[in-house]
Structure 1
């Protein structure tokens, strides 16, 4: 499976969880009366705004990842990503609480006030979608862990784009029909998600270990440069 497909499915499965987290924000965006089917266009613009933010995060992550790869640290990046994802999976499986630092809470407080101001003054679906894309989210971090392993900026942006596209179908349908995905179904999917994270984390670990296993753990490639003259 290609990395873009993996990113898409991370977004697709993650969006079931995100409906409970980001859905209320999407429902809170004012919609002009009498717009009829244009409601679909407004909600699509909101979701594209989120995807745009994910691409910007992919750009920043890609710049970091590219420097790490140029420094020959791709093996360690893959190993660290795998460990990070596996730890996050066990946090969900064991239902552990992760406390946030005062700095993070202050940042979120400022960000929430900005979102409230944007909603109150009807800044539009696109801008609110862009803001929503920067909200802290475990699945965004999971996607960024994959993006940093792509090794270059363009691939990282593409990875986050497909992650964003994966979140669009269910988020779009849920904002049109709030009863589309029931709470019991979301709970069942949420139980499966940590195991998907474990599989993904183990895959990153295997990639980093260079065990010469086709498709799972390819050997480390060494670039040889020849000098002429």
Structure 2
């Protein structure tokens, strides 16, 4: 079950670029403001995303480990969590396609935590060296996001810290191309990914991934 979901989670992160730009565009703009041009800019961008992926892996390990130490490791509960994770992926796709705003309600659940973490990012600005970039990226990894939540539910369902970490790593690697490009070509990328035709196509593709995975679990 986990092996199948890794590809789905990766592709959901990759195809969810429009959502990533909408959710993280402002954060990327703030972090990359006044960054030097040339080689150092690439190093900083890699630092931001290294920190973000580290937080995702940590979240996955914590969730998988928590499930493994509790009744959530029971197979019926794991199965229910996998179903919920794929329903979330379908909901994300419908949101990207402009057909449902349900996901935005779920993302509000994480706002209290994010409000407490935002001051940490402000203290690190302006970013002057790679260490600051990694730390800022690590905080960025906790931003409320429906895509992260859906991957996190899969990590919880895995029932193992290592499997949970691997699931979140695959998700993070899927988001990496869009968010690296966002830091380099912010305006052009935002314009392209926010076009309705692109959002609709990507959203329907994400929903289909979730639906196929859901069907494989049920039948």
Instruction: Give the TM bin, normalised by the shorter chain.
Output: 0.7 to 0.9
C-alpha separation in 2, matches of 1:77 and 1:100: 16
Structural mapping, 1:172-187, within 5 Å: 172-187=180-195
Return the structure number with greater helix share: 2
1:142 to partner: Cα distance:
2.0
Select which of 153, 165, 170 maps to 1:162. Answer: 170
Q: Is the 2:57–2:166 contact (alpha carbons within 8 Å) kept by the matching residues of 1?
A: yes
Deviations 1:91-135 (Å, cap 9, x if unpaired)?
652345855799854433322233222225867110110000001
Aligned pair count reads 209
Change (3 A) 1:198 1:70: same
TM-score by length of 1: 0.73
Mark the runs of 5 or more structure 2 residues left unpaired by the alignment. Answer: none
Matched, 1:114 2:123: no
For residues 14-93 of structure 1, what are the structure 2 equivalents within 5 Å? 14-29=16-31, 33=36, 36-66=38-68, 67-68=70-71, 70-73=73-76, 74-87=78-91, 89-90=93-94, 93=99
Between the aligned partners of 2:160 and 2:132, the Cα distance in structure 1 is 33
Conserved in 2, the CA contact under 8 Å of 1:144 and 1:160? yes
Q: Is the counterpart of residue 198 in structure 1 residue 204 in structure 2?
A: no
1:189 paired residue among 184, 194, 198 = 198
TM-score (norm 2): 0.76
Structure 2 CA distance, aligned partners of 1:193 and 1:5? Answer: 16
